[in-house]
Structure 1
Amino acid sequence: MPPFRPSPAARFAWLAAGLGLGLWLASPAGLRDTLRERATDLLHTTPIEAGAAQVMVVDIDRAALDRIGAWPWSRASLAALLRVVAAARPAAVALDMLVTEPDRLSPAALARRLAALTGREELAGLAATLEDGDRLLAEAIAAAPTALGLLPEQHATEASLPAVPILLRGMVRLPGIGTAPGVQGPIPELAAAAEGLGLLTLDADADGRVRRVPLLALVGGVARPGLAVEAVRLREGAGALQLEADPLSLVVGGQRVPLDPGATLRLLPTDPAGWPARSLSAAALLAEPERFAARLTGRIVVVGGSAPELGGLRPAARGMAVPSVQLQADAVLAVLRGVAPRRPPVLVIAETLGTVALVLGVVLAGLALRPRHAALIAGAAVAGWVAAAWLLTRAGLLLDGGGPPLLAAIGYVAAAVATHFAAERRARALEARFEQRLAPAVVQRILAAPEAIRLDGELREVTALFTDIEGFTAMTERAAPAELVALLDSYLDALTATVVAHDGMVEKIVGDAVHAVFNAPLDLPAHPRRALDCAVALLAAAEAQRATPLGRKLGLGRTRIGLETGPAVVGDVGGSGKLDYTAHGNVMNTAARLEAANKQLGTSICIGPVAAARIGHARLVPLGPLAVRGRAAPLEVYTVPPLS
Structure 2
Amino acid sequence: MKQRWIRTVLGLLLTLIMLIPVIQGDRPELLERFEYDLYDIRLKQFLADDKDPRIVIVDVDEKSLATEGRWPWNRTKLALMLDQLFDQYGVAIVGFDMVFSEADQSVDLGELKQYLALSGSQNIDDALAALDSDQHFTQAVQDRPVVLGYLFDRSPKKLQIGHPGSAVISHDPTLDRLPIPEANGVISSLNRLQNVAVWNGFFDNPMVDSDGVYRRVPVLQRYQDEYYPSLALAMLLALFAEESVAPIVETDATGERNALVAVDAAGMHIPVDQHGAVLVPYRGPQGSFPYISATDVIRGTADPSQLEGAIVLVGTSAAGLLDLRVTPMSNRYSGVEVHANILSGMLDERIQHQPDYTLGVELVQLLVSGILLSLIIPRTSVLISTLITFAWVGAIVAANLYAWSEMLWVIPLGYTLIMISVLYLFQQTTGYFFEARNKAQLANQFGQYIPPEVVEELSQQDQSVQLTGENREMTVFFSDVRGFTHLSEQLNPQQLTRLMNIYLSGMTKIIHEQKGTVDKYIGDAVMAFWGAPLKDENHARHALQSALKMIEVLPQLNQELAREDLPMVSVGMGINSGPMNVGNMGSNFRMAYTVMGDSVNLASRLEGLTKYYGVPLLVSGELASQVPEYLYRKLDRVQVKGRTEPVDILEPICLLEKAEKFLLDGVELFSEARDHYQSQQWQKAKECFAEYLKHYPSDEMSKIYIDRITEFEREAPGEGWCGVYSHTSK
How would you bin the TM-score normalised by the shorter chain? 0.7 to 0.9
Structure 2: which amino acid aligns with 1:530? Answer: Q
Q: Give the equivalent residue in structure 1 for 2:212.
A: 208
Distance 2:362 2:595 in 1: 53
Going from structure 1 to structure 2, the CA distance change for 1:601 and 1:229 (only over 3 Å counts) comes to closer
Q: 1:488 aligns with which of 476, 482, 500?
A: 500
Report the RMSD for the aligned CA atoms in angstroms: 4.4
Q: Give the equivalent residue in structure 1 for 2:52.
A: 52
Q: Give the equivalent residue in structure 1 for 2:40.
A: 41
Q: 1:530 aligns with which of 529, 538, 545?
A: 545
Distance 1:63 1:123 in 2: 33
Q: 1:354 aligns with which of 343, 347, 365?
A: 365
> How far did 1:501 drift?
5.7
- SS across alignment from 1:52: coil
- SS across alignment from 1:384: helix
Q: Give the equivalent residue in structure 2 for 1:512.
A: 524
Q: Deviations over 1:18-70 (max 9, x none)?
A: 55444555534556655544433322367557882432222223333333334
- Say whether 1:74 aligns with 2:77: no
> How far did 1:297 drift?
2.6
Q: 2:328 aligns with which of 307, 317, 331?
A: 317
Q: Deviations over 1:138-157 (max 9, x none)?
A: 23333731111111122234
> How far did 1:136 drift?
3.1
Between 1:630-639 and 1:199-208, the stretch displaced more is 630-639
Structure 1: which amino acid aligns with 2:267? Answer: G
- Say whether 1:62 aligns with 2:65: no
Distance 1:578 1:337 in 2: 83
Going from structure 1 to structure 2, the CA distance change for 1:611 and 1:334 (only over 3 Å counts) comes to closer
Q: Deviations over 1:288-319 (max 9, x none)?
A: 54x52332232321111222212111112356
Counterpart mapping for 1:434-449 below 5 A: 443=453, 447=457
Q: 2:188 aligns with which of 173, 178, 185?
A: 185
Q: Deviations over 1:498-537 (max 9, x none)?
A: 4446775544433332123467755379546524423423
* Contact 1:147–1:197 (8 Å) recurs in 2: yes
Q: Deviations over 1:195-224 (max 9, x none)?
A: 322111123012221122222212356532
Larger RCO: 1 or 2 (CA < 8 Å, sep 6+): 1
Going from structure 1 to structure 2, the CA distance change for 1:278 and 1:425 (only over 3 Å counts) comes to farther
* Contact 2:75–2:134 (8 Å) recurs in 1: yes
Counterpart mapping for 1:601-612 below 5 A: 604-611=616-623
Counterpart mapping for 1:496-575 below 5 A: 496-500=508-512, 505-517=517-529, 522=536, 523=538, 526-527=541-542, 530-537=545-552, 539-540=554-555, 543-544=558-559, 547=562, 551-552=566-567, 559-568=570-579, 573=584
Between 1:303-312 and 1:445-454, the stretch displaced more is 445-454
Structure 2: which amino acid aligns with 1:335? Answer: M
Q: Give the equivalent residue in structure 2 for 1:115.
A: none
Going from structure 1 to structure 2, the CA distance change for 1:437 and 1:4 (only over 3 Å counts) comes to closer
> How far did 1:360 drift?
2.1
> How far did 1:329 drift?
0.7
Distance 2:236 2:488 in 1: 108
Q: Give the equivalent residue in structure 2 for 1:255.
A: 268
- Say whether 1:99 aligns with 2:114: no
Q: Give the equivalent residue in structure 2 for 1:329.
A: 340
* Contact 1:198–1:226 (8 Å) recurs in 2: yes
Q: Give the equivalent residue in structure 1 for 2:285.
A: 272
Distance 1:338 1:169 in 2: 27
Structure 2 segments unaligned to the other structure (5+ residues)? 113-121, 251-259, 654-695, 700-730
Q: 1:631 aligns with which of 636, 639, 643?
A: 643
> How far did 1:384 drift?
3.5
Distance 2:67 2:165 in 1: 36
Q: 1:306 aligns with which of 296, 317, 323?
A: 317
Q: Deviations over 1:359-411 (max 9, x none)?
A: 22123222223445434443343333334434445545442132223322332
Going from structure 1 to structure 2, the CA distance change for 1:577 and 1:199 (only over 3 Å counts) comes to farther
Distance 1:145 1:581 in 2: 94
* Contact 1:455–1:581 (8 Å) recurs in 2: no
Q: Give the equivalent residue in structure 1 for 2:375.
A: 364
Distance 2:308 2:393 in 1: 47
Going from structure 1 to structure 2, the CA distance change for 1:532 and 1:399 (only over 3 Å counts) comes to closer
Going from structure 1 to structure 2, the CA distance change for 1:625 and 1:211 (only over 3 Å counts) comes to closer
* Contact 1:467–1:560 (8 Å) recurs in 2: yes
Structure 1: which amino acid aligns with 2:216? Answer: R
- SS across alignment from 2:411: coil
Q: Give the equivalent residue in structure 2 for 1:219.
A: 223
Distance 2:359 2:382 in 1: 32
> How far did 1:72 drift?
3.4
Distance 1:167 1:502 in 2: 85
Q: Give the equivalent residue in structure 2 for 1:118.
A: none
Between 1:149-158 and 1:321-330, the stretch displaced more is 149-158
How many matched pairs?
Answer: 623
Going from structure 1 to structure 2, the CA distance change for 1:572 and 1:168 (only over 3 Å counts) comes to farther
Q: Deviations over 1:585-605 (max 9, x none)?
A: 544321211222345556654
Structure 1: which amino acid aligns with 2:181? Answer: G
Q: Deviations over 1:620-642 (max 9, x none)?
A: 583x4543123214444355876
Q: 2:422 aligns with which of 403, 410, 426?
A: 410
Going from structure 1 to structure 2, the CA distance change for 1:598 and 1:379 (only over 3 Å counts) comes to closer
TM-score normalised by the chain length of structure 2 = 0.72
- SS across alignment from 1:89: coil
- Say whether 1:230 aligns with 2:242: no
Distance 1:419 1:137 in 2: 75
- SS across alignment from 2:144: coil
- SS across alignment from 1:204: coil
Going from structure 1 to structure 2, the CA distance change for 1:84 and 1:435 (only over 3 Å counts) comes to farther
Q: Deviations over 1:102-158 (max 9, x none)?
A: 1122259999xxxxxxxxx954334224x3332333233337311111111222345
Going from structure 1 to structure 2, the CA distance change for 1:215 and 1:600 (only over 3 Å counts) comes to same
Distance 1:91 1:510 in 2: 105
Distance 2:555 2:375 in 1: 54
Going from structure 1 to structure 2, the CA distance change for 1:602 and 1:397 (only over 3 Å counts) comes to closer
> How far did 1:231 drift?
0.8
Distance 2:630 2:73 in 1: 114
* Contact 1:24–1:31 (8 Å) recurs in 2: no
Going from structure 1 to structure 2, the CA distance change for 1:430 and 1:319 (only over 3 Å counts) comes to farther
Q: Identity over aligned residues, as a percent? A: 21
* Contact 2:171–2:227 (8 Å) recurs in 1: no
TM-score normalised by the chain length of structure 1 = 0.80
Going from structure 1 to structure 2, the CA distance change for 1:351 and 1:184 (only over 3 Å counts) comes to same
Structure 1 segments unaligned to the other structure (5+ residues)? 112-120
Distance 1:599 1:405 in 2: 71
Distance 1:588 1:418 in 2: 40
Q: Deviations over 1:526-585 (max 9, x none)?
A: 546524423423653665576466745xxx9x5542323423458764699999875555
Distance 1:5 1:618 in 2: 46
Distance 2:80 2:592 in 1: 96
Q: Give the equivalent residue in structure 1 for 2:175.
A: 173
* Contact 1:109–1:132 (8 Å) recurs in 2: no
Decide which structure has the larger Cα Rg and report it. Answer: 2
